[in-house]
Amino acid sequence: MEYTVGHYLAIRLTQLGLNHVFAVAGDYNLSLLDEMAKDSNLEQVYCCNELNCGFAAEGYARSRIMGASVVTFSVGAFSAFNAAGGAFAENLPMLLISGAPNNNDYGSGHILHHTMGYSDYRYQIEMAKQVTCVAVSIAHASEAPCLIDHAIRHALRNRKPAYIEISCNIASAPCPPPGPITAITKSLVSDAGTLKVAAEACLKALNKSKNPVIVIGGKARSAGGEKQIVELADKLGCAVTTMAQAKGFFPEEHAQYVGTYWGEISAPGVENLVAQSDCRIYIGAVFNDYSTVGWTCQVTGENDLFISPHHVRVGKNEFSGIYLDDFLAIFAPMVQKNPTSLEQYRAKGIKPTQIPAAPAEAELTVVELCRQIQGIIDNKTTLFLETGDSWFHGMHFNLPNGARVESEMQWGHIGWSVPSMFGYAVSEPDRRNIMMVGDGSFQLTAQEVCQMIRQKLPVIIILINNRGYTIEVKIHDGPYNRIKNWDYAGLINVFNAEDGKGLGLKAKNGGELAEAMKKALANKEGPTLIEVAIDPQDCSPDLVVWGKRVQTANSRPPRTSLNMI
């Protein structure tokens, strides 16, 4: 069998376990798409635009080992770079693959369409280097196997996106066949000596503590350490909390789970529990202005352990060259039981709040909305929380084991959830995929709902129509936070056209919402968008507190030249 560059790339993706690649066609990538289509195990899923295409691949990577998107040169790749930046910030392996000019045009002095209007086309790969862990350009077929494998290896090793650029006349050129994929996937090996020394140093600090607590952060999942974290928790017996970005990364029905840690908007009792611990075991933690509520809750001490994807820090000692899952696998068996922090938490007698159902005809509130969403969350649910007020509501959901939450709290791109949920649902169509999104965010990427209809994906979209950018209002208000209203439910009929099975529903009270939820759960042939009317002033109290703190951090006066010296 004769292999081509495009076919080689497709086989590598299927060897990794990918069954789908997301694409937007353009003349520089058409031959590449033809060649990739020769692999019957790799379905091409088409998107409305390149930004959404990139975010769909990012969403797919939340379920699989990585995601992949194919776009055209410049006009396509520039849009997709935004999504690649998001994947980089959120530690998600993704391949951004771009068609490129004919290799005969390089150095020819030709001015080509879809370029900046000059004859040097290297600007795109230079841009790609800023938002990916590695960027390669394939202008000769003989280089393709090495460069493709190099890009994939770095994406997996760094849990970041990688960029591959392929000249349009090279995609169909013959190249050697791919070898075993283990040459790429088996390349992550921790240094055994460093593992041992790091574990001993952490154990020494832990043994000095009286009330350790485990705090799980947003990088824990990307490092592949969720199973090992549970093993460590079981062995240690202490209280376990998750930072906001890690919601759902630890089984919430576990006896040691105490809730979300998010500074002063933490779950009841959790802020003091973390603050009073003499050994916080931070696993995959990310400290930014959002996660620390405007730099108000970055609690650290000399006896804390910082276990990160590629290194471990304890006190003044730093150990690199080791991976989180490897470290936890040898550290967990070494620790001794110390349930003090859990006992302290239980002694406070904190009980979950029971929310009564609102009258069926009463004006819909976010409290009643979340109560009804809670009622449809099962162990096969994945809940996407759009950037904004949905974050704060989502922290209060109780997740049965197996349920997942996905958010984008580092990049924080509004509109992210629509295409990312699309990509995730392509990978996981049998899960109960629910998305909470505001009207302002939805307007940025609404087109991809039509692709959910095209793929017959039974996604449930809870669209909160409160006439604006609520999260921005609570940080810093102005007329720029008001948007043009849409008939969001009516938009589904536009996307359905002659053959779609999507549903567009509206709910103004609890009774209408309950009826809409029943219809959404019954619709298995396409997405259901439920537009809920919410008063613009009705939002999470946590958002109000958080917004003020973030605004205070944003408004700090400039340093004077004297202060900078």
| pLDDT tens track for 151-169 | 999 999 999 999 999 999 9
Model confidence at 137: pLDDT above 70: yes
pTM: 0.94
Per-residue pLDDT, 555: 81
DSSP state of 62: T
Model confidence at 469: pLDDT above 70: no
Which is more confidently placed, 482 or 238?
238
The SS3 call for residue 438 is: strand
Confidence of residue 225 (pLDDT cuts 50, 70, 90): confident
- Kindly report the CATH class assigned to 3-185: alpha beta
Per-residue pLDDT, 163: 98
pLDDT in tens, 300-314: 888 999 999 999 999
Per-residue pLDDT, 183: 81
One-letter amino acid of 313: R
Mean pLDDT of all residues belonging to the chain: 92
Q: Where are the domains of the chain?
A: 3-185, 192-347, 366-544
Cα gap 499→437, rounded to integer Å: 26
Looking only at the bridges linking them, the beta strands covering 404-406 and 67-71 are unpaired
Model confidence at 123: pLDDT above 60: yes
Reading phi first (left if > 0) and then psi (alpha if -120 to 50, else beta), residue 412 is in: left
Nearest to 10 by CA among 29, 31, 35, 27: 35
Q: Confirm if 157 and 222 have CB atoms less than 8 A apart.
A: no
Percent of the chain with pLDDT over 70: 96
Per-residue pLDDT, 541: 82
Per-residue pLDDT, 500: 97
CATH for 192-347, options being 3.30.70.890, 3.40.50.1220, 2.40.50.180, 3.40.630.30: 3.40.50.1220
Model confidence at 220: pLDDT above 80: yes
What DSSP assignment string belongs to 466-477?
Answer: -SB-HHHHHHS-
CATH 3.40.50.970 fits 366-544, yes or no: yes
Confidence of residue 537 (pLDDT cuts 50, 70, 90): confident
Rounded to 5 degrees, what are φ and ψ at 193? -65, -40
Does this chain's domain 3-185 share its CATH topology with 366-544?
yes
Model confidence at 244: pLDDT above 70: yes
